[in-house]
A and B are shown apart, each in its own frame.
Chain A
Amino acid sequence: MNGLNGVYVPGTSPLHRLPAGVKLAGLAVACTVLVLVSSLVVLAGAAVVVAALYALSRVGTAAAWAQVRPVRWLALALFAMQWVFAGLPGAAATTSRVVLVVALAGLVTITTRTSAMMATLERCLRPARFVGLDPFRLSLLLSLTVRSVPVMAALATRVREAQRARGVERSLRAFAVPLVVSALRHADALGEALSARGVDD
């Protein structure tokens, strides 16, 4: 399954080299500022800055567009609705704000390796040990999940083929019940294998 490589675009730009934590903090600050600003001039300036940052990261227009593409219809609908309710300037401000925040967040994702981002997130999740999850188990949980995605996808394919063979292609129950039961069996076998290897100690 090569879909699991994430959306990271390799590169050596200054943005790629910045630590993930710094980028996340920067993003948080930028988003807060964008939410507070309503002047169109400032927003236009912000758009220029975001475009400049994309240029600096040298990821190419295709990767940049891929980040904004998912909100294109929403942006259009939002613009139309705001135009009716809040007038043209308000519509332009709200819409550009949403698009800019999404573009900035996308830029952080594009320029940060999934592994680096995961390490940072694991650090942020360290307080989870107070509900009984120590950091080791947390990393184990995350990597187990990443590993389980292709396993579950293969399982889904197998169940669907069996379903086709039985001629009950359209029944959701004939698909989902065996899928969930085998997922649970797989999970419980996996859990026993893990305890057998002493993960509990």
Chain B
Amino acid sequence: MMDEGKRRRFPTGDLARVAVFAALIAVLGLPGSFNVLGNAVPITLQTLGVMLAGAILGTWRAALAVVVLLVLVIAGLPLLSGGRGGLGVLAGPSAGFLLGWIAGAAVTGWLVERAGRSPSFVQLLVACVVGGIGVVYLFGIPVQAAVTGVSLGNTAWLTMIFLPGDAVKAVLASLVARGTQRAYPDAVPAVHRERLRAGGEH
């Protein structure tokens, strides 16, 4: 019986989804994987991947996908944007933002799960902004302040440089999640959960 319960909580299909999304976040950070304005502004889309993971996988699976990615990065694979990898990323000042990805993906997922069977663009956007920006900054700014010894307020001001870019990414993530969920209803966390509950897993 115990085994049965465990399986319900984490079926194999979800294992594959988590692995593929962790890989997707990594690929979105590869150089040249996508440039918004020709080649002039190479922005990395990894935070977009984190928001998408939340919006599509739901709370736990999204958090797990980010954890898996970070474990592989710590193990030395160069999966962060710009080919960064290794323990150094956790020692550096941006470590808090990376840890914030875990909670950020989870909160995004939690909010989208509450938006029901067909989350609207606005609902997705709120989830992405709160989880993908608010929560990530909440973790990132204090850690950066602690590592660099710069005051919390000043660090927060410096971080505002990234706000416009992240806001654009939240809008994009919501558009992409909305498009994906229209094309593939099982990409809605609530729908996916219902399907699992109905025993749709094989």
Residues from chain B with a CB closer than 8 A to the CB of A125 are 71
Given A8-B76, A109-B87, A173-B175, are A70 and B16 also a contact pair (CB < 8 Å)?
no
- Please tell me if B115 contacts chain A, counting CB pairs below 8 Å: no
Q: Is the CB of A133 within 8 A of B10?
A: yes
Residues from chain A with a CB closer than 8 A to the CB of B22 are 145, 148
Count A-B pairs with CB separation below 8 Å: 224
- Please tell me if A47 contacts chain B, counting CB pairs below 8 Å: no
User: Contact flags (1/0) for A172-201 with B, using CB distance below 8 Å?
Assistant: 110111011101111110111011100110
Identify A177's interface contact among B6, B83, B183, CB under 8 A: B183
Nearest B residue to A148 by beta-carbon distance? B23
Number of B residues, CB within 8 Å of A: 69
- Please tell me if B198 contacts chain A, counting CB pairs below 8 Å: no
- Please tell me if B24 contacts chain A, counting CB pairs below 8 Å: yes
A119 and B149 alpha carbons, distance in the complex (Å)? 34
Q: Is the CB of A98 within 8 A of B176?
A: no
User: Contact flags (1/0) for A76-94 with B, using CB distance below 8 Å?
Assistant: 0010011001100010001
- Please tell me if B164 contacts chain A, counting CB pairs below 8 Å: no
A112 and B13 alpha carbons, distance in the complex (Å)? 33
- Please tell me if B12 contacts chain A, counting CB pairs below 8 Å: yes
Q: Is the CB of A132 within 8 A of B6?
A: yes
- Please tell me if A144 contacts chain B, counting CB pairs below 8 Å: yes
User: Contact flags (1/0) for B85-102 with A, using CB distance below 8 Å?
Assistant: 111101111000000000
Describe B's contact surface by its main secondary structure. helix
User: Contact flags (1/0) for B68-93 with A, using CB distance below 8 Å?
Assistant: 11011011111100111111101111
Nearest A residue to B179 by beta-carbon distance? A177
- Interface 9-residue window, one of A10-18, A49-57, A135-143: A135-143
User: Contact flags (1/0) for B136-155 with A, using CB distance below 8 Å?
Assistant: 00000000000111110010
- Shortest B147–chain A CB gap in Å is 6
Identify B12's interface contact among A86, A106, A194, CB under 8 A: A194
Residues from chain A with a CB closer than 8 A to the CB of B186 are 184, 188
A81 and B145 alpha carbons, distance in the complex (Å)? 13
- Please tell me if B121 contacts chain A, counting CB pairs below 8 Å: no
Extra contacts besides A105-B86, A131-B60 (7): CB < 8 Å: A67-B88, A101-B91, A132-B5, A132-B6, A137-B10, A142-B72, A148-B19
**Interface, chain A (partner B; CB < 8 A):** 3-4, 6-8, 24, 27, 31, 67, 70-71, 74, 78, 81-82, 85-86, 90, 94, 98, 101-106, 108-110, 112, 114, 117-118, 121, 125, 131-134, 137, 140-142, 144-149, 151-153, 155-156, 160, 172-173, 175-177, 179-181, 183-188, 190-192, 194-196, 199-200
